[in-house]
Structure 1
Amino acid sequence: MEQILADFYPRTEIPWPVILVRMAGAILLGATIGLEREYRDHPAGLRTHILVSLSACVFAVLALESVHMAGFSDEQVRIDPLRVIEAVTSGVAFLAAGMIVFSRGRVKGLTTGAGMWLAGAVGVSVGLGYWFLAVFAALGCFFVLFVLAKLEIRCAPEADSGGAEGEGGEKT
């Protein structure tokens, strides 16, 4: 019975309450990024950005914890937490690239893909404990997506029949 409990609730370097707060933070900051995409009814909205941020956070926490795991203490085993960050970056970039579509001479989904990539970076930041960086990035993203989008609409030439467009011709 003790082994089952130990497997379910293993000893960690980072206290469990800290891990849970980091995961909750990744959820909230991912939601901050995904709100605008949801508001504009884009395919990758609130839930997608939350999941990207949360999964990146979990991978970051696992990277930190893996350095201290007893099974990896052998001299022949080399743990490199930076590889986890590289893997998260590649995985999220793959998802984000799937959001980008070229149709009728216009690129769509570029801003959504960039938001997903940033949600992954925010999740990794929170997972590693860099709260200030994560909060500032999420708020910066919120500013770019909401405030600058409004500014783009006001500054768009009236000859543009399709409304305001974001970078690369994407509808905002």
Structure 2
Amino acid sequence: MLRQYLLLQLEFLLKLLAAGICGAVIGYERKNHLKEAGIRTHMLVAMGATLIMIVSKYGFLGYDYDPSRIAAQIVTGIGFLGAGMIFIKKQSINGLTTAAGIWTTAGIGMAIGTNLYLAGAVATLLVFIVQVFLHRSFKWLRAYTAKILNIKVDDRGDAFSYIKNALFSRNIEIIDLKAERCGNGMIELALKIKLPPGFDISELLELLP
């Protein structure tokens, strides 16, 4: 009886260690890219999810209950944690990849907590590959990005035509245009433009008159 108890406790320990290692692997890549959530955060998320699944599976033996309810609460809680890592800055959204990684790390911890070691290990490997190699390579996968360009031009000249032609020459598309008179013969333009993949925003300074 005691031997079975000790073996079960050892199994719990191994689950927590395995979850911590998987979380550390994912967090290492995020730390190298100076992201908000690094090794410690991912380790805590993975081990926490594993611990909750252990409690869910083994902590209420002999009781009639649905263990999937606790698993659902993990997903809900991680959703709040991930939302805190997403923020908007200058028409761009940051933190989505980190939040998705945290969410997946919790899933890995849940898998390990329910004895799905192979699934957890494979998921860890896939997450690491996606975050490392797709971050460095495959530039052709980069999508177009939208930016807001605010400039003032002389409405008595052909400055706008020059800007439009300059943008088109660099394969930059004007999605939306708003104009407002500022007085003194000047017009303030708010251009919503679509930049091609890999375009350096600093190059716009060379295009403007």
- Category of TM-score, reference length = shorter chain: 0.7 to 0.9
Q: Are 1:87 and 2:127 an aligned pair?
A: no
1:160 matched residue in structure 2: 200
State the percentage of identical aligned residues: 29
Question: 1:154 Cα shift?
Answer: 7.1
Rounded Cα–Cα distance in structure 2 between residues aligned with 1:12 and 1:96: 36
DSSP 3-state at the match of 1:15: helix
Rounded Cα–Cα distance in structure 1 between residues aligned with 2:104 and 2:199: 33
Structure holding more strand per residue: 2
Rounded Cα–Cα distance in structure 2 between residues aligned with 1:65 and 1:13: 14
1:17 matched residue in structure 2: 10
Structure holding more helix per residue: 1
Q: AA paired with 2:111?
A: S
Q: Are 1:36 and 2:26 an aligned pair?
A: no
Which structure would you say has the larger Rg?
Answer: 2
DSSP 3-state at the match of 2:88: strand
Question: 1:79 Cα shift?
Answer: 1.4
* Larger RCO (CA under 8 A, 6+ residues apart): 1
| TM-align CA RMSD | 2.2
DSSP 3-state at the match of 1:129: coil
Rounded Cα–Cα distance in structure 2 between residues aligned with 1:132 and 1:43: 28
1:54 matched residue in structure 2: 47
Question: 1:97 Cα shift?
Answer: 0.9
- Deviating beyond 6 angstroms after TM superposition, the runs of 4 or more aligned structure 1 residues are none
Unaligned runs of 5+ in 1: 1-10, 73-77, 163-172
2:56 matched residue in structure 1: 63
Superimposed CA distance per residue, residues 28-76 of structure 1 (whole angstroms, 9 cap, x where no aligned partner)? 000111111101011111110000000000000001113415xx3xxxx
Superimposed CA distance per residue, residues 128-149 of structure 1 (whole angstroms, 9 cap, x where no aligned partner)? 1100110011100000000111
Q: Are 1:150 and 2:136 an aligned pair?
A: yes
Rounded Cα–Cα distance in structure 2 between residues aligned with 1:14 and 1:66: 16
Question: 1:155 Cα shift?
Answer: 6.0
Question: 1:80 Cα shift?
Answer: 1.1
Question: 1:12 Cα shift?
Answer: 5.7
1:128 matched residue in structure 2: 114
Rounded Cα–Cα distance in structure 2 between residues aligned with 1:104 and 1:15: 52
Q: AA paired with 2:118?
A: F
Change (3 A) 1:127 1:113: same
Instruction: Determine if contact 1:96/1:114 at 8 Å carries over to the other structure.
Output: yes
State the aligned residue count. Answer: 146
Rounded Cα–Cα distance in structure 2 between residues aligned with 1:153 and 1:104: 23
Select which of 119, 133, 138 maps to 2:124: 138
Instruction: Determine if contact 1:13/1:68 at 8 Å carries over to the other structure.
Output: no
Task: State TM-score, norm by structure 1.
Answer: 0.78
Superimposed CA distance per residue, residues 76-123 of structure 1 (whole angstroms, 9 cap, x where no aligned partner)? xx4111011100111111101110111211110000000000110011
DSSP 3-state at the match of 1:99: coil
Unaligned runs of 5+ in 2: 143-196, 203-209
